Amino acid sequence: MNIDDNQIPPTQLTNKSTDNTAENAVAFENSNPTSEPTKSTSISTTSAYVKREKEESTSEPEMIRVSNTILNLESKVKELTSQVQSLEQQKQELTREIKQLQECEHKMMAERIQDIEQHIRLIVKEGLKELKQQKQALEISVEQLERRRDRIKEEMQTTFAGVSQDLAVRVQGFKDYLVGSLQNLAATAEQLELPTQENWSSSETIPSQSSSSGKIQFAPQEFEAQTTKIKQILEQYRNNPDYYGCPWQLRRTFEPIHAERVQTWFFSQGGRGAILSMGTRLQNILIASAIISVLNSLHGDRSRFLILANSPERLGEWRRGLQDCLGISRSDFGPEKGVVLFESPDALVLKAERLLEDKKIPLVIIDETEQQINLSLLQFPLLLAFAPDPQQVSSYLY
């Protein structure tokens, strides 16, 4: 209940107080009309009431001020309550907006997480596919390498061990034959009668026919001047192989049978001719590598080596074999490099002619699988061809 409803105006308060004092005084006089001795006492009581009324009248302004302050406080309370209500409404609205924003944020985060998970799944799937493909390719290459390893082991057992043993038996037999022959020759020489000086002078006038017998040669040998150097290089390869030497030097074991084929090509055939195949392309590559190394040490950068094979697989095997035997890299293969690979003899002929015009020294190497040889290849000064051995079956005829 508000104070304004029970509030009495100040004028009414003063009028009521004066009326009450007067009425009290009249009533008091009427109550004692005959008692004159008590008249003084009534006068004193009236004066006391008057004083009280005066005191009460003096406290009325203070009551007015109090009432005014109360009114002001009530108005401020109303304003504050209205502000509190508005603030509560704002708070509720803000909490609603915050909830909505949080929900939107959660939704966006969930969508982003889903997108990221999808992308990660796709990336993982693609990576797994690539890894599976690489694994399959590696397994295939490992199988191929294992097959080649087994095949090389078989070839090593059949070629190196078997042939070396056969050669050792033959050499020992030849040694025994030579010892016996020399002993017989010494015994017969002791029984011979040596001619006198007159017989020697008479024999000089007789024309010797034995010099004309033997091998017919239409052109001088190409490597007579470098015979000593070539023999020294081949002897070094056979006795002191350098497996970590400089590029273009032979880095593999060089057996006497290989040295025999190389010496035959250099000194008997003069650098132009065919030699019997070793039965495997790896062994042929070893012989060709020794010849390439010798020519490179003799002529240096002027030497060029042109290899002819009728399939990319065989040319790839030649490239890998030469890299392994000579310590060269892929950068040494190319049209303007030291080694050039050809599938067609016509392209090889054109390249060799250009090299001769540039004063280079080309060596033409023909793989044993070439059944027919282009006659244009025979015009070049250096030619090495591998002829199939009729007594052996090559394991690389694929």
pLDDT per residue, tens digit, the chain (398 aa), is 444 444 444 444 444 444 444 444 444 444 444 444 444 555 566 666 656 665 655 567 788 888 888 888 988 898 999 999 999 999 999 999 999 999 999 999 999 999 999 999 999 999 999 999 999 999 998 988 988 888 887 776 666 555 566 666 667 766 766 776 676 677 666 666 555 545 444 444 433 333 333 333 334 455 566 788 888 899 888 888 888 888 999 988 888 888 899 999 998 888 888 888 888 888 999 999 999 999 999 888 899 999 999 888 899 999 999 999 999 988 899 888 899 999 989 999 999 999 999 999 999 999 988 878 888 888 898 999 998 877 665 554 44
Backbone angles phi, psi at 117, to 5 degrees: -65, -40
In a domain, 305, yes or no: yes
Backbone angles phi, psi at 385, to 5 degrees: -125, 140
Instruction: Say which residues have a Cβ less than 8 Å from residue 98's Cβ, sequence separation at least 6.
Output: none
Q: Verify that 236 and 373 share a domain, yes or no.
A: yes
| Residue the block writes with tokens 């039965």 | 279
Q: Verify that 98 and 243 share a domain, yes or no.
A: no
In a domain, 189, yes or no: no
Coil, helix or strand at residue 212: helix
> Tell me, what CATH number does 259's domain have?
3.40.50.300
- On whether the CB atoms of residues 328 and 340 are closer than 8 A, the answer is no
Structural domains in the chain (count): 2
- On whether the CB atoms of residues 273 and 383 are closer than 8 A, the answer is yes
Q: Which of 102, 122, 147 is the last residue of a domain?
A: 102
Please state, in angstroms and rounded to a whole number, the distance separating the CA atoms of residues 139 and 145. 10
Q: Verify that 96 and 244 share a domain, yes or no.
A: no
Please state, in angstroms and rounded to a whole number, the distance separating the CA atoms of residues 103 and 95. 12
pTM: 0.46
In a domain, 151, yes or no: no
Q: Verify that 98 and 233 share a domain, yes or no.
A: no
Task: Give the distance from CA 234 to its chain's centroid.
Answer: 42
Coil, helix or strand at residue 373: coil
Please state, in angstroms and rounded to a whole number, the distance separating the CA atoms of residues 396 and 284. 11
Q: Which of 102, 125, 155 is the last residue of a domain?
A: 102
In a domain, 147, yes or no: no
What is the 8-class DSSP label of residue 264? Answer: I
In a domain, 132, yes or no: no
Domain that includes residue 248, residue range: 226-387
Q: Verify that 242 and 379 share a domain, yes or no.
A: yes
In a domain, 120, yes or no: no
In a domain, 152, yes or no: no
- On whether the CB atoms of residues 57 and 14 are closer than 8 A, the answer is yes
Instruction: Say which residues have a Cβ less than 8 Å from residue 13's Cβ, sequence separation at least 6.
Output: 60
Distances (CA, A) of 47 to 19, 59, 255: 15, 19, 160
Q: Which of 52, 67, 102 is the last residue of a domain?
A: 102
What is the 8-class DSSP label of residue 225? Answer: T
In a domain, 185, yes or no: no
